[in-house]
Amino acid sequence: MSAALEQVAQPDATPQPAVARRAPRRPARGTVLRWVILILAGIYFVGPLIAAISFTVQDHVHGGISFSAYRQIFATPATGQIGFTTALVYSLELSAITIVITLALMLPTQLLLHLRVPRARGIVETLTLLPLVFPPVVLVVGVSDTFAWVGDNKGGLSSFVTYIRGGGHPLVLALLYVTLAMPFVFRTIDAGIRSIDARTLVEAARGLGAGWLTVLFRVLMPPLRTAIINAAFLCFALVMGEYTISSILLYTKPFPVWLYQLPTTSGQVQAAVSVFSLLLVEVLLLMIGALNWRRGTQKRG
Amino acid sequence: MSAVTSIAPSGVVQSGTTVEYRDVYRVFGAMSALAGLSLRIEPGELLALLGPSGCGKTTALRLLAGFDRPTSGSLLIDGQDVSNVPANKRDMGMVFQSYSLFPTMSARDNVAFGLRMRGQSGPQRRGRAVELLELVGLGEHAKKFPHQLSGGQQQRVALARALAISPRVLLLDEPLSALDAKVREQLRDEIRRLQLELGVTTVFVTHDQEEALSLADRVGVMRDGRLEQCAAPQELYDRPATQFVAEFVGRMNRLDAVAEPGSMVRVGTQLLPADGASPAGGGPIQILVRPEALVVTPDSNGDTVVMVATFRGATTRLRLLRADGVELLADVASHLAPEVAQGRRVSVSLLERPVLVAASSEQEVPIDE
């Protein structure tokens, strides 16, 4: 320290170069490690996808690139089978219904747990974990047995079960998906509510004269938007990828079941179907995410 | 105190409101958060509820706001029982400790929220909101969102929001606790200015005695759900009604003394008049003395040693140890502090003024800094 000060105090001492030479900057050890992990994770996740895409666009007969495998997905369906658009729209409808029912159940439940009955939170949290404990196959077998038992009774409940099982609308599937989505949606909304100090916001709004509906829609829902959209993401991804339940209950319209039942023996087409379904869900999720981001920035601007 | 009438910023005449707690109990399981609180707050008065954590002061405020219901007893506003009136029908303006601004609304929309709930038209409520924001010095920040404002600014917006609805009573729940010292002092003055200007009856909950004493017309000291004493700040400080108030508001030294005839008290060689109830002559008693009522003089033959000297700005607090092992606290002017620095021997006497006599049943409370 003192040597440095002496050097500053003696301008005529050994001339210094105009620009001090900097030691070459070494990347920090942590930075290198981060990049290594990122690259490995990228290879792990993106590698198989790139390999699959590469396989689906290879023209094995003439060489070069061909999209014929993808064209076959959209080819006119054979008689008695449904086409791509029908299956996709069916699954989108199913997603929308699942999202609406899940949020309509979970949001008020969570708010009640946070604001009115915090003691019941542990019990409800445990209940929401049950769908993770029982595999979907167990769930669907139980549901099938219950439906069969209700059907035998021939009462009003039987008519209801017949109605929700009707092939024209996917209500029964939506109800099952609501159950499957419960553990994830519960925690997503829970985290959202914890981050906003809901109790104080409710009290502030009530004190200013707001009724309960105003509190819910004007005060609580806007700051919970991200949590709600994330919950919707989870429901959507779950519905677009769920095969077991709809297949066992003999529903052929959902998109994953339709993909599986495509009448082809070509490995290239089957790979193209997998890639396409993956990318489609990704694109739809990104679209919803972009909408959320845009709204967020507009509000801040 | 007579009814207060004043002119609000937009020319709306506001009258102060009377608030009364009548034997209010609030019981949670086996615990009584409020145990028979009775208190009357006069129109236009600023009353501070002061006490340690868990004393029931916030419960008292929440009951008044309508966020909770009393187990028994009644709450009256201008003579009307509002115990069962829901929060959104009470016309109370509340400012919370944690700002509580609606995060997706701008400062202006936050302030206008209560007016919107009252059905005011868009231009009318926006105009009024900007007017209120200007009143708290944030006119230029009307379009900013809460996350773009500092803590002090957010609390100003919360204050403007509470005042926008011309509340019958303004409720402040430790609104300054989360702010740094300088902002806290500024906002404290601002709250008082606005409260006097608007003449709104105000209840201010705090655990900070300095805040309570400097801001309020009267201070209610609470303990275990009960009101120990409710009095003007000066009276509370000079004549604490109970041992708890004496210890909680400011600091006290407890000294051995002897009761003398004629309401006099002998402390060492000093004979001083007793304040308040006079003890029976001849018996040993204890008296309570504020640190500023001790006179400390340098004395190489004194029986007291300065253990610690803590600089506190205008005054320096001394922790003293007497030869008999009794610890004392004394405040001296800081310019005199070098004469009684740490390790020096001193002699201690009392200012010639009436002293408080401690109740005999009370246990000794150790003095610690």
Answer whether residue B368 shows pLDDT above 70: no
What is the torsion angle, in degrees rounded to the nearest 10, for the CA atoms of residue A235, residue A239, residue A240 and residue A243? 150
Cα of B292 to nearest chain A Cα, Å: 42
The whole-chain average pLDDT of chain B stands at 87
At B305, the pLDDT band (50, 70, 90 cuts) reads very high
At B357, the pLDDT band (50, 70, 90 cuts) reads confident
- Please choose, from the candidates A196, A243, A140, A71, the residue with its C-alpha nearest in 3D space to the C-alpha of residue B104: A196
Tell me which residue has tokens 């929060």.
Answer: B87
Average pLDDT over residues B124-146: 90
The per-residue pLDDT for B340 is: 87
- The answer for residues whose C-beta is within 8 angstroms of residue B28's C-beta and 6 or more apart is none
| A205 vs A28, higher pLDDT | A205
Q: Does A252 touch chain B (CB under 8 A)?
A: no
Which of B67, B90, B100 faces A201 most closely, judged by CB atoms?
B100
Tell me which residue has tokens 């942590």.
Answer: A30
Of the candidate ranges A65-69, A103-107, A183-187, B13-17, the one whose mean pLDDT is the lowest: B13-17
Written in H, E and C, the secondary structure of chain B is CCCCEEECCCCCEEECCCEEEEEEEEEECCEEEEEEEEEEECCCCEEEEECCCCCCHHHHHHHHHCCCCCCEEEEEECCEECCCCCHHHCCEEEECCCCCCCCCCCHHHHHHHHHHHCCCCHHHHHHHHHHHHHHCCCHHHCCCCHHHCCHHHHHHHHHHHHHHCCCCEEEEECCCCCCCHHHHHHHHHHHHHHHHHHCCEEEEEECCHHHHHHHCCEEEEEECCEEEEEECHHHHHHCCCCHHHHHHCCCCEEEEEEEECCCEEEECCEEEEEECCCCCCCCEEEEEECHHHEEEEECCCCCEEEEEEEECCCEEEEEEEECCCCEEEEEEEHHHHHHHCCCCEEEEEECCCCEEECCCCCCCCCCCC
The per-residue pLDDT for A1 is: 39
Kindly state the percentage of chain B with pLDDT values over 70. Answer: 91
Kindly state the percentage of chain B with pLDDT values over 90. Answer: 52
B314-341 pLDDT, tens digit each = 899 999 999 988 999 999 999 988 888 8
Of the candidate ranges A171-175, B2-6, B29-33, the one whose mean pLDDT is the lowest: B2-6
Which of A209, A219, A225 faces B114 most closely, judged by CB atoms?
A209
- Which of 282-301 (A) contact B at CB < 8 A? 299-300
Task: Say yes or no for a CB contact (<8 Å) between A214 and B67.
Answer: no
**Can you say how many angstroms the Cα of residue A296 is from the centroid of all Cα atoms in its chain?**
19
The per-residue pLDDT for A243 is: 85
Cα of A189 to nearest chain B Cα, Å: 17
Instruction: Please report how many Cα atoms fall inside a 13 Å half-sphere around the Cα of residue B189, on the Cβ side.
Output: 5
DSSP state of A65: B
The per-residue pLDDT for B241 is: 85
Q: How far apart are the first and last CA of chain A?
A: 49
Cα separation, B253 vs B321, in Å, equals: 12
At B42, the pLDDT band (50, 70, 90 cuts) reads very high
Whether this model's pTM surpasses 0.95: no
Of the candidate ranges A152-161, A254-263, B177-186, B337-346, the one whose mean pLDDT is the lowest: A152-161
Tokens matching residue B126: 């926006």
Predicted complex: ipTM over 0.95? no
Average pLDDT over residues A94-105: 93
> Looking at beta carbons, which residues of chain A come within 8 Å of B125?
none
Which of B87, B98, B105 faces A200 most closely, judged by CB atoms?
B98
The per-residue pLDDT for A293 is: 65
> Looking at beta carbons, which residues of chain A come within 8 Å of B175?
none
Query: Does residue B275 contact residue B239 with C-beta atoms inside 8 Å?
Result: yes
Answer whether residue B77 shows pLDDT above 70: yes
The per-residue pLDDT for B120 is: 86
> Looking at beta carbons, which residues of chain B come within 8 Å of A222?
102-105
Average pLDDT over residues B293-302: 91
Question: What is the Cα Rg of chain B in Å?
Answer: 24
Neighbours of B334 (CB within 10 A): 14
DSSP state of A254: S
Question: What residues does B205 pair with on adjacent strands?
Answer: B49, B173
B166-204 pLDDT, tens digit each = 899 999 999 988 788 888 888 888 889 888 988 999 999
Query: Does residue B7 contact residue B194 with C-beta atoms inside 8 Å?
Result: no
The whole-chain average pLDDT of chain A stands at 80
Q: Does A201 touch chain B (CB under 8 A)?
A: yes
Average pLDDT over residues B236-249: 86
Which of B67, B145, B165 faces A209 most closely, judged by CB atoms?
B165
The per-residue pLDDT for B23 is: 94
At A167, the pLDDT band (50, 70, 90 cuts) reads low
The per-residue pLDDT for A157 is: 73
Average pLDDT over residues A47-52: 90
**Helix A136-153 vs helix A156-165: crossing angle, to nearest 10:** 140
Answer whether residue B146 shows pLDDT above 80: yes
Cα of A284 to nearest chain B Cα, Å: 26
Cα separation, B1 vs B157, in Å, equals: 30
B88-122 pLDDT, tens digit each = 999 999 999 888 999 999 999 999 999 999 988 88
Answer whether residue A67 shows pLDDT above 80: yes
| A71 vs B64, higher pLDDT | B64
At B365, the pLDDT band (50, 70, 90 cuts) reads very low
> Which residue from A minimizes the CA distance to B114?
A208
- The answer for residues whose C-beta is within 8 angstroms of residue B249's C-beta and 6 or more apart is B50, B209, B213, B219, B221, B236, B237, B240
Of the candidate ranges A106-115, A154-163, A183-192, B333-342, the one whose mean pLDDT is the lowest: A154-163
Task: Say yes or no for a CB contact (<8 Å) between A210 and B117.
Answer: yes
The per-residue pLDDT for A24 is: 63
> Looking at beta carbons, which residues of chain A come within 8 Å of B93?
207-208
Cα separation, B85 vs B69, in Å, equals: 9
> Looking at beta carbons, which residues of chain A come within 8 Å of B87?
203, 206-207
The per-residue pLDDT for A14 is: 44
At B242, the pLDDT band (50, 70, 90 cuts) reads confident
The per-residue pLDDT for B361 is: 47
- Which of 207-246 (A) contact B at CB < 8 A? 207-211, 214, 219, 222-223, 225
Cα of B98 to nearest chain A Cα, Å: 8
Question: What residues does A58 pair with on adjacent strands?
Answer: A65
The per-residue pLDDT for B96 is: 92
Tell me which residue has tokens 């620095």.
Answer: B341
Of the candidate ranges A30-34, A242-246, B37-41, B365-369, the one whose mean pLDDT is the lowest: B365-369
Work out the burial of residue B333: count CB atoms within 10 Å of its CB; fewer than 13 is exposed, 13-18 middle, 19 or more buried. Answer: exposed
Cα separation, B81 vs B63, in Å, equals: 12
Cα of B221 to nearest chain A Cα, Å: 25
Q: Does A155 touch chain B (CB under 8 A)?
A: no
> Looking at beta carbons, which residues of chain B come within 8 Å of A211?
88
The per-residue pLDDT for A292 is: 67
- Please choose, from the candidates A184, A289, A290, A186, the residue with its C-alpha nearest in 3D space to the C-alpha of residue A239: A184
